[in-house]
Amino acid sequence: MQVRPTDPMSPHQAVTFFFDRAADQVGLDDEMRDVLRGSYRELSVQVPVRLDDGRLMVFNGYRVQHNGARGPYKGGIRYHPDADIDEVRALAALMTWKTAIVDLPFGGAKGGVQCEPYLLSDAEKQRLTRRFTSMIGYILGVNRDIPAPDMNTNAQTMAWMMDEFGKRYGYNPACVTGKPVELGGSLGRDAATGRGVAIAMGECAKERGIPLEGASVAIQGFGNVGSWAARLLHEGGARIVAVSDVRGGIHDKGGIDISLLLPHVSATGSVVGFPRTDPITNEELLELDVEWLVPAALGGVINARNANRINARVIVEAANHPITPAADAELSDAGVVIVPDIIANAGGVTVSYFEWTQNIQQYRWDEDHVNDELHKVMTRAYRDVAAYAAEAKVDLRMAAFDIAVERVARAARLRGYV
Ligand code: NAD
């Protein structure tokens, strides 16, 4: 039996804790456990970039391929000061479990460059992206490892990656996903992670009998994932009472009109200062008395320090690993429903898969088709996990990890890894 988790744990220790718990639960043998616990390959590179003022800055970049038993490695690229090898390793492992739980023919990987992107100009970001791509390019490829956007990277970043990769290995848009639509990106990809979050919440609402329409929702993070989730939940009738970004948050008990907030964010770069709302800190947002809490920014924001002050009935992990194992144990004991990251935010990689298949077939799906297929994949995954959880009398995270670990172990065994 595992001991009760305590903070602090590094991101990789936290993900490994959940893996070990699942491995115990499904009775994984020691040899397979050794294979699935660590990364297959970890590439660490120096990324020298000439800044606009002529100085040279040397950044650390990483690409970690965790497991490829079920298919080519797949995972985003993050630009963030915390994107060190431990965090990238943790995120790569989460991608293996995520692609397995939504049953995509991919393994798991992640990449990152440790930098403060807010301090870089667009020209510097382009030089950094090209240099990083050329340094990790030899382990990438359409049937090897396919990057996508993550924190502080976007469709433009993917366009630069595709172009740089193509210079050496030949043009092939399927080498990255999350590209601009003009360069072979999929319709619906930009919204996909947030849409998947909203679909998972709808399924959870039905399964647990917790209403979503008219219910209060607080969302931390208003980037790609948070803003799309907010927009779609608002359109679906939920009451978004608070949202935040790196500069702070805003609160209105009556509900924020997201359709008016979006132009404010486009004009000012932040949710802060949106008229007729009260300012709120990121910490206060997490502790609001709301029905649904959606952390959609950083990892580890709900931890042993603030777990006893969380008031939400349901927490939906739109971000990766926003809840530490210690907080997860405390909140689960208190009866809080937690929809784990590997289901909640799997909509992004699902539409990335659709983009990859469209590129390979050289055929474009219309947006309704993308959204319908995403809906099918997300509802099936949520229902599989909820059914397992009910049958095995475990929480949703344990159920999701159990199913994912068993699927990956089966593929690894069939390939003869052990
Ligand atoms: P993003 O860069 O588009 O947005 C990040 C948001 O978080 C921004 O609003 C930013 O201001 C805010 N933020 C940054 N630091 C913060 C802090 N200290 N406190 C509060 N807010 C802060 O990133 P994203 O793509 O929306 O990713 C958000 C999360 O979702 C990440 O954990 C990412 O790994 C996860 N995720 C993203 C995708 C995807 O398709 N983009 C897919 C799966 C999971």
Please report, for residues 64, 111, 142, 358, 359, the alpha-carbon distance to residue 75 in angstroms, rounded to integers and kept in the order given. Answer: 9, 7, 13, 18, 17
pLDDT, tens digit (0-9, with 9 covering 90-100), for 356-388: 999 999 999 999 999 999 999 999 999 999 999
Residues 270-323 have pLDDT tens digits of 999 999 999 999 999 999 999 999 999 999 999 999 999 999 999 999 999 999
Give the pLDDT of residue 3. 82
Q: Name the residue type at position 9.
A: M
For residue 222, the ligand 1 atom closest to its alpha carbon is: 9
DSSP line for 143-187? TTEEEEE-TT--HHHHHHHHHHHHHHH---GGGSSS--GGGTPPT
Burial of 363 (0-12, 13-18, 19+ CB in 10 A): exposed
pLDDT band at 232 (very low <50, low <70, confident <90, very high): very high
Element containing residue 60 per DSSP (H, E): strand 56-67
Q: Among 97, 102, 150, which is best to mutate for testing ligand 1, by the most ligand atoms less than 8 A from CB? A: 150
Neighbour count for residue 56 (Cβ, 10 Å): 8
pLDDT at 225 over 90: yes
Give the position, in ligand 1's atom list, of the atom nearest the Cα of 352.
40
Question: What rounded mean pLDDT belongs to the chain?
Answer: 97
> Where does residue 129 rank: exposed (0-12), middle (13-18), buried (19+ CB within 10 A)?
buried
The share of the chain scoring above pLDDT 70, in percent, equals 100
- How close is the Cα of 319 to the center of ligand 1, in Å? 7
Catalytic positions are 110
The strand pair at 292-295 and 314-316 is best described as parallel
**Residue 120, exposed/middle/buried by CB under 10 A (0-12, 13-18, 19+)?**
buried
Write the single-letter amino acid at 362. Answer: Q
Confidence of residue 9 (pLDDT cuts 50, 70, 90): very high
Quickly state the pLDDT bin for 34 (edges 50, 70, 90).
very high
pTM for this prediction: 0.98
Whether 236 contacts 212, CB under 8 Å: yes
Centre of ligand 1 to C-alpha 169, Å, is: 31
- Ligand 1 site-directed mutation target among 186, 245, 281, most atoms within 8 Å of CB: 245
Residue pLDDT, tens place only, 133-169: 999 999 999 999 999 999 999 999 999 999 999 999 9
Q: Residues lining ligand 1, judged by CB closer than 6 Å?
A: 149-152, 193, 220-226, 244-246, 282, 296-298, 318-320, 345, 348
Q: How many CB atoms lie within 10 A of CB 359?
A: 23
Phi and psi torsions of 55, nearest 5°: -75, 155
Confidence of residue 1 (pLDDT cuts 50, 70, 90): low
3-state secondary structure of 123: helix
| Residue nearest atom 20 of ligand 1, based on CA coordinates | 246
> What is the DSSP secondary structure assignment for residue 79, as one 8-state letter?
E
The structure tokens listed for 209 are 């009998």
CA-closest residue to ligand 1 atom 4:
223
